[in-house]
């Protein structure tokens, strides 16, 4: 095995193009770096990582030099350190240096995780700072204690006019990490270096706002910035967190791992989880990056159970609330009761909700509010036994070609889009079908502009290898076919395919087309739609995707639960029954469910973290914990089970859904509700999941509507609560435009004509 020596330490390694820096990092040998970042391709711009290699002329940058057998590397000799000090001094000319050589250094270090406080104490206010500053770390390591040159303060106003984050380019050291992550990793290119020499800066075209520059506010630039130049506006004043906890985001079906800073039992800030945490590996979207703390700390969270007496909602103890629910449910015939969950319940809670309905109460009417997209996907996969065709985001980055259909993922699933772009950047052609935003259009090799209703047609034509493709010119047909005929494909698709003339046909076609080599990537809109279906929160399915009509399995459940089980009313059927006055009680756990159609229901039991239009009609309100306060599991778009880890205690007097449902089950004297933790629930559910797919699927009518992108969580419409998100979403339509196809001649002609018209106007004036 090849080996090299770094600072006298012999290290064996595999020669696979990894750099000296990579090897050193793995071995825990610190080489200062500023422009390099593990997430980014090597850049070699800052020269901070210089090392001496025996036999190589001069010094080389460790971040760009591949490790070779029998290299002898020195990272710390005097000449090197002196050179690094000089380079740093040059670099610091453009960084307000009060900070790095400040006389208050020691005091500052004590308090610097609280910039506000340290500012007051040390009288310094140059940097919005972070608890850690890579630049400071490097200065400290290299041992610089004077500046050497007069610093040049650029006097640029701090840019605060865009949503979510501030930009103070006065303290930017031009390492290009932000530019590279935005461009090379996220595929957006919302920022770039502009001008040159002393005037060089990170900028947008013509200094436009980020809203206009195509920024998605994914925050990736902030996360790689080694200085305090970029900082999240609402998340920088809390100081050192008491702890940080990583859990799964439930705001869409990607299931990103997000790390939360906790202080005083509250969430102060969120960041992407570790680079090693699947599926997102250190990236998130605007929601996960910026919106969760404000959402979860909202002052109007439901905190106390209430019961309505004589028209007035009165705060009560949990026991009183359970008693009232028992009263209501006991006086109603089971078939006149409906349970409607939501796509943001954990799998355990979803399982318990249907178990409560089917076993303790004895009603078959269970369903959840979703888009119908997950239902279509999961049922088709179960029917055709093709769960193995669902890929992970890691697979997606290695795809040889991509078809994107039925959604603008760059907007709705920014992390999926990032993985798409990684494949595109490696040279995988992207075929875009249907409408989408600027990012996808730029990445696409072929854009087939079809109405959504024709999705099923074109997908079938592709699957059947037809001569013609709907809406595609002849020479392009050949090109598209040559693309999809080779290698491992990826079909990324979203709830937009529900708008196809025949969504089932579209779904079957794309499965057929992808064959055995490629993978499909369904982008679900909500946190745990798949988990809810698998847990049996469906009128026609038992836990483990078994049809209620499969008598052997059904009998097992009937014996276990002591109640007859049959197919119940779907959500739409419940709504119909309610409007005819045939449904008396509705148990709702998702405030985003529209009240419309349910006005005649006599009693509503509402269990949610957030108020919604339901609270005005609820007989009982049960305050539920938010997903960051809950534990359990969810199933993401990769069909992987991901863990929810409790980050903070449930707010106020609220409780986790699984606990509420367990206690309620006990209220009914039901034997099957003795769980002490969601783990026990998960274990029981796992037993049933072994029966996965053992029974014919029954068709229920899916809700054929692709949702607009207006992210919501259990009745809380996030943009209505977070102004910056609203500003961002409102600005999106203006960014949409078809990519210009005008030729150079036509463009020049149009512009000249426009200009001469302009000057004429000017002269007349």
Partner 1 sequence: MQDLSRADLAEQVIPSLQEIQERLGYIPREAITWLADKLHLSEQEIYGVASFYNNFRFTPPGKHHLRICLGTACHVQGGDRLLAATSEKLGIKPGDTTSDGRYSLERVACVGCCALAPAVVLDDVVHGRTTQRSLKRLLDSIDREDRKAKKSEGGSQ
- Interface positions with partner 1 (CB under 8 A): 183, 188-196, 203-206, 208, 213-214, 424-425, 427, 442-443, 445-446, 476, 479, 739-742, 744, 747-748, 751-752, 755
Contact assessment for residue 533 and residue 504, using Cβ atoms and an 8 Å cutoff: no
* Least distance between ligand SF4 and beta carbon 221 (Å): 3
Query: Is 91 an interacting residue with respect to ligand SF4 (CB under 6 A)?
Result: no
By CB under 6 A, which span of 39-47, 142-150, 204-212, 321-329 interacts with ligand FES? 39-47
> What's the rounded Cα separation, in Å, for the pair 45 and 29?
21
The item of ligand SF4, ligand FES, partner 1, none sharing an interface with residue 48, based on CB under 5 to 8 Å by kind, is ligand FES
Q: Is the dihedral of CA 179, 183, 189, 194 positive or negative?
A: positive
Phi, psi of 60 (to 5 degrees): -120, 155
Of 68 and 394, the one with the shorter C-beta distance to ligand SF4 is: 394
Kindly state the smallest distance separating residue 445's Cβ from partner 1, in Å.
6
Q: Does 500 bind ligand SF4 (CB under 6 A)?
A: no
Buried-state track 651-661, b at ≥16 Cβ within 10 A, e below 16? beebbbbbbbb
Among 20, 47, 84, 340, binds ligand FES (CB under 6 A): 47
**Residue 427 touches which of ligand FES, ligand SF4, partner 1, none (Cβ within 5-8 Å per kind):** partner 1
Of the candidate spans 10-18, 59-67, 408-416, 719-727, the one that interacts with ligand SF4 by CB under 6 A turns out to be 408-416
The DSSP annotation for 698-713 comes to: --------PPPS--EE
Ordered strands of the 489-494 beta sheet:
446-448, 430-433, 401-405, 489-494, 519-523
Do the Cβ atoms of 634 and 247 come closer than 8 Å?
no
d(CA 371, CA 706): 7
User: Binder to ligand SF4 among 190, 352, 618, 725 (CB under 6 A)?
Assistant: 190
**Based on CB atoms, which residue is closest to partner 1, 671 or 742?**
742
Instruction: List the one residue from 23, 53, 142, 217 that touches ligand SF4 (CB under 6 A).
Output: 217
The SS3 assignment for 430 reads strand
Beta-carbon contacts of residue 748 (< 8 Å; ≥ 6 apart): none
Which stretch in 38-46, 51-59, 183-191, 351-359 sits in contact with ligand FES by CB under 6 A? 38-46
Other Cβ atoms within 10 Å of 211 Cβ, number: 20
Instruction: Examine residue 44 and tell whether it contacts ligand FES (CB under 6 A).
Output: yes
CA distance 467 to 195: 51
Count the Cβ atoms, other than its own, within 10 Å of residue 39. Answer: 17
SS3 assignment, position 15: coil
What is the closest distance, in whole angstroms, from the C-beta atom of residue 287 to ligand SF4 in the complex? 4
Asked if 256 is part of the footprint of ligand SF4 (rule: CB under 6 A), the reply reads yes
287/258 Cα distance (integer angstroms)? 11
Binding to ligand SF4 (CB under 6 A) within 127-186 occurs at 172-178, 181-182, 186
Q: Does 66 bind ligand FES (CB under 6 A)?
A: no
Q: Which stretch binds ligand FES (CB under 6 A): 34-42, 187-195, 658-666, 744-752?
A: 34-42
Of 107, 92, 135, 117, the residue nearest 236 (C-alpha): 117
Instruction: Considering the complex, state which of residue 36 and residue 400 has its C-beta at the smaller distance from ligand FES.
Output: 36
744-758 residues labelled b (16+ CB within 10 A) or e (exposed): eeeeeeeeeeeeeee
Residues at the site binding ligand FES, with contacts judged by CB under 6 A: 33-36, 44-49, 61, 63
Residues at the site binding ligand SF4, with contacts judged by CB under 6 A: 172-178, 181-182, 186, 188, 190-191, 202, 215-221, 224-227, 229-230, 249, 251-252, 254-256, 280, 284-285, 287-288, 413-415
């Amino acid at each position: 095995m090849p080996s090299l020596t770094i600072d006298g330490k012999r290290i064996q390694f595999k020669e696979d193009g990894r750099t000296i820096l990579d090897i050193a990092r793995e071995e825990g040998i610190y080489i200062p770096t500023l422009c390099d970042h593990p997430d980014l391709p090597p850049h070699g711009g800052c020269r901070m990582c210089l090392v001496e290699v025996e036999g190589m002329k001069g010094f080389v940058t460790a971040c760009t030099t591949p490790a070779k057998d029998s290299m002898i590397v020195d990272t710390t000799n005097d000449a090197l350190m002196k050179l690094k000090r000089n380079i740093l001094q040059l670099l610091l000319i453009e960084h307000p240096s009060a900070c790095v050589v400040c006389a208050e250094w020691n005091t500052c270090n004590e308090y610097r995780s609280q910039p506000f406080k340290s500012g007051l104490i040390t009288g310094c206010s140059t940097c919005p700072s972070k608890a850690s500053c890579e630049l400071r770390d490097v200065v400290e390591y290299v041992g610089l204690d004077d500046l050497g040159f007069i610093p040049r303060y650029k006097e640029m106003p701090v840019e605060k006019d865009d949503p979510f984050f501030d930009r103070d380019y006065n303290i930017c050291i031009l390492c290009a990490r932000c530019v590279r992550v935005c461009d090379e990793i996220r595929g957006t290119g919302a920022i770039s270096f502009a001008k040159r020499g002393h005037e060089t800066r990170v900028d947008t075209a013509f200094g436009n706002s980020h809203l206009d520059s195509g920024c998605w506010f994914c925050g990736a630039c902030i996360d790689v910035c080694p200085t305090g130049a970029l900082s999240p506006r609402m998340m920088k004043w809390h100081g050192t967190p008491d702890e940080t906890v990583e859990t799964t985001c439930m705001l869409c079906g990607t299931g990103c791992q997000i790390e939360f800073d906790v202080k005083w039992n509250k969430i102060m800030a969120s960041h992407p989880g570790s680079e090693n945490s699947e599926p997102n590996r250190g990236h998130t979207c605007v929601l996960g990056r910026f919106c969760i703390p404000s959402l979860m700390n909202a002052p109007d969270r439901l905190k106390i159970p209430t019961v309505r007496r004589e028209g007035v909602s009165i705060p009560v103890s949990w026991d009183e609330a359970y008693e009232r629910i028992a009263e209501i449910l006991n006086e109603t015939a089971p078939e006149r009761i409906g349970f409607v969950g939501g796509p943001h319940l954990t799998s355990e809670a979803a399982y318990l909700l249907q178990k409560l309905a089917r076993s303790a109460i004895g009603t078959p009417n269970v369903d959840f509010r979703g888009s119908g997209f997950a239902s279509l996907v999961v049922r088709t996969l179960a029917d055709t036994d093709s769960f193995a065709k669902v890929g992970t985001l890691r697979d997606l980055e290695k795809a040889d070609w991509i078809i994107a259909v039925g959604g603008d993922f760059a907007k709705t699933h920014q992390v999926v889009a990032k993985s798409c772009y990684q494949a595109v950047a490696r040279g995988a052609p992207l075929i875009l079908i249907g409408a989408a935003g600027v990012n996808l259009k730029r990445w696409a090799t072929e854009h087939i502009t079809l109405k959504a209703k024709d999705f099923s047609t074109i997908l079938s034509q592709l699957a059947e290898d037809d001569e013609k493709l709907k809406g595609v010119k002849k020479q392009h047909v050949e090109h598209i076919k040559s693309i999809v005929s080779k290698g491992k494909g990826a079909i990324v698709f979203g709830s937009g395919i529900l708008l196809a003339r025949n969504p089932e046909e579209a779904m079957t076609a794309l499965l057929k087309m992808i064959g055995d080599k490629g993978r499909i990537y369904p982008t679900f809109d909500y946190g745990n739609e798949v988990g809810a279906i698998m847990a049996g929160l469906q009128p026609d399915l038992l836990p483990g995707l078994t049809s209620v009509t499969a008598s052997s399995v059904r009998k097992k459940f009937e014996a276990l639960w002591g109640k007859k089980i049959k197919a119940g009313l779907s959500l739409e059927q419940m709504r119909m029954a309610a409007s005819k006055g045939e449904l008396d009680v509705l148990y709702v756990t998702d405030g985003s469910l529209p009240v419309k159609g349910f006005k005649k229901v006599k009693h509503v039991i509402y269990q949610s973290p957030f108020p919604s239009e339901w609270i005005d009609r609820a007989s009982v309100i049960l305050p539920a914990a938010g997903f960051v306060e809950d534990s359990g599991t969810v199933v993401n778009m990769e069909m992987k089970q991901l863990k929810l880890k409790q980050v903070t205690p449930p707010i106020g007097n609220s409780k986790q859904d699984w606990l509420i449902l367990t206690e309620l089950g006990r209220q009914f004297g039901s034997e099957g509700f003795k769980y002490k933790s969601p783990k026990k629930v998960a274990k029981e559910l796992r037993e049933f999941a072994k029966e996965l797919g053992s029974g014919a699927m029954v068709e229920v009518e899916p809700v054929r509507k692709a949702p607009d992108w207006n992210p919501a969580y259990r009745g809380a419409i996030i943009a209505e609560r977070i102004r910056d998100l609203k500003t961002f979403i409102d600005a999106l339509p203006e960014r949409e435009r078809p990519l210009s196809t005008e030729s150079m001649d036509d463009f020049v002609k149009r512009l000249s004509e426009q200009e001469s018209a302009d000057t004429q106007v000017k002269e007349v004036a």
